[in-house]
Every structure is written in C-alpha cells, then in structure tokens.
Structure 1
Amino acid sequence: MTSQHAPSYYADSAHPQPERPPLQGAVHADVCIVGAGYTGLSSALHLAEAGYKVVVVEAAKVGWGASGRNGGQIVHSYSRDIDVIEKNHGKAVADAMGSMAFEGARVIRERVATYGIQCDLKDGGIYAAKTRKKVEGLHEHKTLWEKYDSLKMEFVEGADIQKYVRTDEYEAILIDPTGGHIHPLNLALGEATAFESLGGRIFEQSPVTAIQRGNNAVVKTGQGEVHAKFVIVACNAYIGTLEPKLSAKAMPCGTQVIATAPLDNWQDVLPQDHCLEDTNYLLDYYRLSADKRLIFGGGVVYGAKDPDDIESHIRPNLERTFPQLKGVRIDYAWTGNFLLTLSRLPQVGRLDSNIYYAQGCSGHGVTYTHMIGRVLSEAIHGQFSRFDVFAKLPHYPFPGGRLFRVPFTALGALWYDMRDRLGV
C-alpha cells in the first residue's frame, strides 16, 4: 500500500482533506468497518445516521482503491442483469434483486443533496450497440428495466445518434436519464466527511492484520485494535490474505483509464455531456470531466497485473470511436482493480454471527456498493430480509483454482470478445 492516492486525474483534482492518522492503541465501537471505499463508506454513513458508534479502518487512503479510480459512471443493476438472475436463480430472487437494482443511484443522489457533496454530478447515461445483434439486446434491456423501475428510457438510432455522441461506431443507443456520472474520488471523500460530521472516525494507513472472532470482535492493525460488537469487511479487490475464505472465490482484475487534455471541441464528442458504455463483453466506457477532458476506459487484465503502457491499450479504441480526436494529448493514464466473481454476481454473507462482508461487484460497483451499504446496515439493525436475498446466492470457485483461474477466464473472455466482433 502507499501513503498517497495512485496517480490519476481524480487524485490531482480531488478536494483537500484533513489528515486522518493511523489507528493507535485500543478503541471501542458498535461497528468496525474494514475498508474506506464505497461499500465501507455507505455502510458507515447509514449506520451513523441510525445512531451507531462506527469506526472505519483503511489500509491506505479514503477511496484509494476502485472507489477513487473508476470510470465515474452511474450504471444501474448488476454485472449479470435481472433476466439472467431469474433464469439461474428463479423469479422470486430476480424480483427481490430487481427491486433493489436501481436503489444505488438514488442513494448517491440523496447523499449529494443531503450533505452538499461537490462531485460534479451530471445526469444522463447512454448504452450503445455496435451491431444489429446488439440492437436487439438494447430493446430487451429497455423492456426489462422498465418492468422493474419507472424509468423513461429513450431508444435512438440513425442520424439522431449524433445528437448525443459524435461517432459512426453505433447502430443504436439507449438513453437513461436516471444514469449519470460523477467525480468518483470526490464522492468518496464527501461521504467520508459526511460520516465524520456525525461523529464517525476514520483511521487511514491502518492495514488490518487479523480479525479476532468473539461476541465482541477485535480488529487488529499493526499499532492498534478496534473492539466492536459487529464488523463489516469491505475490502473487495484489495482484501489480500486477510480472509482467505473470501479471496478464494473471487479474482482481482485490472481495468485501464486515460484522460485527455481539456477539449475545446467537446461538443463534437458528447454534445449532451452524457456518459456512455457500449454493450460488448469487453466494453469501452467514457464521459467528460467537469473541465471537459474525455475520460475513456476499457480493457480487462485478469489477475490485476498492471500493463506496462496503459495509453497504448486504450488510445486505439478512443481514436477508432472518435477519429476527430486522433493524436489528442493524453494527460493521465491509470489502472485500478475490481473484484470478479465466477457468476458475475456480488458475494454477500457472514464469516461469523457478527462479522459481515460484501464483495465482488464485478465491474458494476458504483451504484451497487451504495445500495448494499444500506442493506448491511439493515442487517446489523436486525432486519435481514434484503440481506438474505444476496447471502443465499451461491459462491462458486473459479475453474482451475488459483493457479489456472487467470488463463481459463481470459480464454473465456477471448471467446465472447470474438463473438462481439463477429456480431453473433
């Protein structure tokens, strides 16, 4: 771990923060949360609002992991959508998860409004189809989501696509006005400040070395410990060896992002300032920052090994999508890890009667983490109905175990990517 945020556009444009010292000695709390990313911060803020005494311990800095490095897009649902959930787990589970699939975006907007969080929130998201086969999927997507929420999504094709995105790459797009985008690190920092305003405490530079079970659990760091009635493990891709039962059934994966220099001609790229992701298996996603840089991400490195040259991975896709930006200066390039599960569905449960966890967003973490934080807080309050929906989902090991899970998964992704390219 490092004492500072990973170099990125977000780190360079983050709001100033107070020094949050490492944990020293013993402290006591109702709840100790391990990890100050979105899952931990959402849980902490919900619990603090309910009157709990909450302590958060973070190995590096607030929002140091995926929460402070992601594409910044407000995207609903899960990495496997509700129709797939129904096929694999039944209608009752699909209906229950569907009823929560759009809640995370509302939680984000509630937090921004209630606590005055300055995170460049903009409304409007786009899903884009590159082939006629994918266009069929957009129609199905619209029907499915409107079944579970009162969305007013707009299907657009032909010349009208240019009103939203100036590229010839897409056969059709789907506009979601309840989607949107944010400065992800400033959202995390704003939530941390909100939590602290309610009496919550955050200790940075405090990697957890062990969690001692018991009626009152003890969360141990190198220089201190937290005694708590409840613990939430919210480490996701950065859990390391802390809890082998959790790391054994999920795999860290890296994704790459670049940010251009500010664009004078940004209206010739995204004239409505919406964010966009395509519907390919290995998708591209992009949006404009507040100072009108194009933030463009994509690609997956299974096993989370950082590529030597991030720009060379992303620039070809950017320039193919927007030939008008050929040769544009790239000011920032960074990578970050998300946690992939075999089912692509999140993993939620308990390691002991009073030790909870949530992980494995599989690339759909921005909204999901905000919703699951509320669900975890409900469980600690003794309300388990929504928690149990997720906790009952099976957690599958990757084929090949730790040694071969990376090449097996990469081979599968290559197959799906080839199908996308062939339009089948």
Structure 2
Amino acid sequence: MLIRNGTLLDGRVVDVRVRDVVTEVGPDLPAAAGEQVLDAAGGTVLPGLHDHHVHLRAAAAAATSVRVGPGEVRDAAGLAAILAAAAPGDDGWIRAVGYHDAVAGPLDRRLLDALSPPLPVRVQHRSGALWTLNTAALREIGQVEHPDGRFHRADGELVLPDRAPSLSALGKQFSRYGITGVTDATPEQSRPDLENLAAAARSGALRQRLHCMAPADLAGAAIAGLTLGPAKKILDDDSLDLDALTAWIAAAHDRDHPVAVHCVTASQLVVTLAALRAAGGHAGDRIEHAAIVADDVVADLADLRVTVVTQPNFVAERGDQYRADVPADEHAQLWRVASLRDAGVRLALSTDVPFGAGDPWAAMRAAVTRRTPKGVVLGERERISAEAALAMFLGHAEEPDRVRAIEPGAPGDLCVLHAAPTQALARLDADLVAATVIAGAVVYRSVR
C-alpha cells in the first residue's frame, strides 16, 4: 500500500510505500496499478507502537471481570453491591480484579463470604500477587477447609478454572491505540502455552507482532507466529535468595538466553543487581517495573547496561494511594524515568495491562505530567518530554531502548495520526490514531 502526504517526526512530508516491510520513502511516489492508497493529509506517520510489557491472557480475562479497585469501589458496601450485580462467567464464577485494601481492608474468605453472593467468587489484588476466594469457590476447588481463602503467588498452591479467553477483542483494542507489537511478560510459560499464543497470532485473532518471554530451556526454539524473549523471574521480598537468583541467571546466560527480573521493591532491585553483577550481564537482560529505585543503585543500572522497562502510568492511576502508603521520603524514588535516562540507563515504557490501564498514550502523558488522579505532581524531577515519552514506545521488541525508524527495510508496521507532529505531541491522545498498519495491511481505520 501507499501512504501519501504523511509527516514524519522530523517534519519531512513524504509518501511511504509499505508491504511486509517499508520499501520506499520519499516525496510524490507514484501509485502502482491496483495499489491501496491512504491519504494521511499531513498527519503524523510513526513506526507502530510496541507495548513492551503486557499479560495477554490476563488482559483478555480482565475484560470479562468486574473491577473492584479504589477507582471503582470506595468501601465494603460498594464492594458488596458491585459483586451482587456482577454476572458470572460461563464457568459459573465471578472474577473480580484490581482490589486494594483501601476498599474494605484485607480480604479473607469470611469477609468475602459476607460481601459476596452465594456463588464462587475470586478476587485478585491489584498487584497480581494474591487471590482471595470465598467459601463457595473453595468448595469448587476442593479446598473448603482452607483457613483464610488467601492464596499468594509465591505459594503456588492455587489452581483456578481457565476461562481461555479469546484474544480477538484485545487485539482490536491494541490496533485502536496504534499498537503493532507487544511483549507478553507472563512468567514460566511452557511451550504449549506459547504455541497457543502463536496460534492466535497465526489465525489473525491477534494481529500484532508477538514477542514472548520464555524459559531458557526454549532458547533457540522456533515457534511460528512469535519470537522468543528473555526468561522471566518474579521476586517476592519474603523469599529473596541471592545465591539462587545468581545461579538462575547464570544458567540462562549459559544457554545464551537473557533474563527479565520483576522488581517492585527496593530490596528486590538491590538483590537483582547483585545477582546480575555476580553472574555477568548478557545482551537483552531487563529489569521489569523498577517501581522504586534508590539513588545509590542508579549508577549500577547504567553500568550493567540492563534495560529497565517501567510504567509511569501507575503515577496517574495509583499516585494518590502511593502518597498515602509510601513514606514521603521515598516518593522521589517511585517510577523514575528522567533521572534514569540522564544517568545513561537504557529505558522503555509499557502499560503492564491488565494490571495497568492499557492505553499507551495515557502512559506517555503520565511520563510527561506525573500527575496523580487528584492532580498532584508526584516526582516532578522525573518528568520527560512528549518526544521522549513517545520514543520509549517505539523500540524494537528485542532491544526496547533502540527506536525504530521509517526507512526502507524497516518492518511494515505503522501508526498514522490525524494531527501533525507538533499537535500530536501536545496532546498524546489515542483519539488521534487514524490508522494502524501491520505488515502492510490496514488493521484499523478511524471513522471521522
């Protein structure tokens, strides 16, 4: 296809011919016979956005779940009302997500029994680290004698019904945002898990280019429909083990496979950096989240050349709760961006959908403004420009900090906006997405 009259971020107005890859970029390209032509009318043409940390199955399941976080529910009565109104899924369960103790205190089976209808109900904490089940749900899984119905991620004892949600609606939403590629950061996926995701990509249910974190024993494997990324490790503060983490990293590196370590506390980051230094670095190693970064580890992040994939959107989504829960002297350490970039740390942004909202444009705005839901600026020194925020969603899947360009030979994945660059950067709004092109095919076109 041929995109006419597009404005690149550097201000040049060009035509772009694109198939599976970009084949030509220049002024006044002639249309070939029968070639599809899209007139950008001076709007911005970008490389398609890449969301560098998502959870596909969880995001698809969340679309059929009820949200019960502080943004939706204020107290126990509100939680009871929203659960009573919730429709159970085909499995007969009510699945709720996004819970925080600020709503009704720490949930256990007895409190959930008092607040929920007499159906199996499971409620996920917004961290993703805890599920709470009511008695009806415990009976369904054969654990009616469980003391409190609370199942922590680290325990590994909970097996829940798999809703096997379709990824089609999620893929369409990605396309509306101008997203042409995603990195699935779900940990410990088996080859069959990855084959299922690849099948969704090959079938067209998920049109985006798919990059998946995968265990090191799959290093070098070929799965049609996706590419394989680093091995993922989730850490929990109560089970931090430097020697074990070092050995795990070294074993992955021995297979020529990078690692990605989930770090949402200062302790987790300190242990991870020590393990990476002991095991030795590898191209493609990543830190996921880096939710809290103390000043004394910034230089280590830069020195190790590890890529930090972070989510400043949580400032916009949860910032007021952080101000209440996190000591004031640690506020400047939350979801850092500008100071890491200025120190030479490799950086990329993502949404962490469904644990964060899935709109990358909102994440960019959060990186620029650092405003909480109540409008308070949290981490003013961590603000970055709109240009920098956008660039952090334009990286390669394998090298998230290396920004893609629109040039011959580049992947044929593009995002066309209704506005020229100056106006687009001033707004950073998903409503500006006019068309999304993947492998030379239009997968989304806005109606105006």
Query: What TM-score do you get using the length of structure 2 for normalisation?
Result: 0.25
- Which structure is larger by alpha-carbon Rg, 1 or 2? 2
Between Structure 1 and Structure 2, which shows a larger proportion of strand residues? 1
Query: What TM-score do you get using the length of structure 1 for normalisation?
Result: 0.26
Q: Which has the higher contact order (CA 8 A, sep 6+)?
A: 1
